[in-house]
Amino acid sequence: MILHQLIDYETLRVVWWLLLGVLLIGFAVMDGFDLGTAALLPFVAKTDVERRVVINAVGPVWEGNQVWLILGGGAIFAAWPPLYAVSFSGFYLAMFAILFALILRPVGFKYRSKRDSAAWRAGWDWALFVGGLVPALVMGVAVGNVLRGVPFRLDTDLRIFYEGTTLFELLNPFGLLCGLLSVAMLVMHGGAWLVLKSEGPVAERSRTYGSIAALVTAVLFALGGLWLWLGVDGYRITSEIATTGASNPLAKTVEQAPGVWFENYGRHSWMMLAPLLGFAGALGSLAFFKARREVPALLASSVSILGIISTVGLSMFPFILPSSIDPQSSLTVWDASSSHLTLFIMLVVTVIFVPLVVAYTAWVYRILWGKVDAKAISDGSGHAY
């Protein structure tokens, strides 16, 4: 027996759909507090020492956290080639905006203290703010547009044609709502991180802004669900589904209809756990902020991120990228994956190396555990940034 046939093609496709979700959630949880912290920088830090406290709260770990973004992009490229092709061509300008903003982060960290000038440092502080806010906003906008459907089609040779126009068409009302939800969610997470890692005025301001963001997250999540139910057509497959056949998105028929994105919850009641975790995590984080419980607040915000992202994935299953102009071209778990052998080899590599990444990350956080010392920053005896 050929080794890769030990796991059938259908199972491998579902496994890689789950792993893609894990990687995206891992990025949102691990790098999300970095983005949220940067977005909070102008609001929670009023003096240069306070700003350095905020920067040093994430400075030693942000590079390792960004590994999850690289892993997610690599998984999309290798496991779902058509998804990679459509998203990275259709969302090219959005991706460019994200990458430009992310580049500002390491540059800001490295150059901020190169000159003893208040104006120089203020400029780089705003660059760090942009580096946190823009990716959080644009990623949420992208998810909103995926739920609405993306304007692409496939011809009979499976060539991809993206027929969108400009970046601004992505900034539709529903997309912007999802973008604001993403910002609120990550600001809540960043606030929880800063409460854990700082003391004094920075921690108190972070607690206040984190509490507000937690409440806003719950409200926007509810509004997004209501809007999705009433104002956004979902997609369903109306033909026979070939779960083990060769990848060919055109070998199916698809229709759009209101409320379809909620059908999975009716068929599988356990899926309701995802939105419940989204709400419970946000409201729990709010309660823990008020109770001054640092670690539980961070864990609760992580649970909220898990629930909100899982809600999107479970609502859309088996779709991973629907087409708004030619529903038949929509990409699904069953017809947009790499070959059986490719998915199996990737799974073996993942099983070996992802636990190593997790173990190393855990070790780093254990070593770096503790609060940033403002006194050590003031007298120059500690901290790198």
Instruction: Give the model confidence (pLDDT) of 199-210 as tens digits.
Output: 999 999 999 999
Given this model, what pLDDT does residue 283 score? 97
Q: End-to-end CA distance of the chain: give it in Å, rounded.
A: 56
Our CA dihedral for 236, 241, 246, 250, rounded to 10 degrees, sits at -40
- How is the chain split into domains, by residue range? 3-379
Query: Are 351 and 21 spatial neighbours (Cβ–Cβ below 8 Å)?
Result: no
Q: Which DSSP string do the residues of 300-337 spell out, in sequence order?
A: HHHHHHHHHHHHHHHHHTTEEE-BSS-GGG-EETTTS-
Cα 337 vs. chain centroid, distance in angstroms? 21
What confidence tier does 225 reach under pLDDT thresholds 50, 70, 90?
very high
pTM, rounded to two decimals = 0.93
Residue from 183, 206, 73, 185 nearest 134 by CA: 183
Residue 207 has a pLDDT of 97
The whole-number pLDDT of residue 2 equals 65
Specify whether the CB–CB gap between 122 and 172 falls below 8 A: no
φ, ψ for residue 84 (rounded to 5)?
A: -60, -45
pLDDT of residue 1: 46
Mean pLDDT over the full length of the chain: 91
Residue 321, pLDDT above cutoff 70: yes
What confidence score (pLDDT) does residue 114 get?
A: 83
Q: What percent of the chain has pLDDT above 70?
A: 97
What distance in Å separates the CA atoms of residue 335 and residue 315, rounded to the nearest whole number? Answer: 18
CB 194 within 8 A of CB 208: no
Res. 383: pLDDT tops 80? no
pLDDT of 178 higher than 60: yes
Summarize pLDDT for 30-57 with one digit per residue, the tens: 999 999 999 999 999 999 889 999 999 9
Q: Are 218 and 305 in contact (CB under 8 A)?
A: no
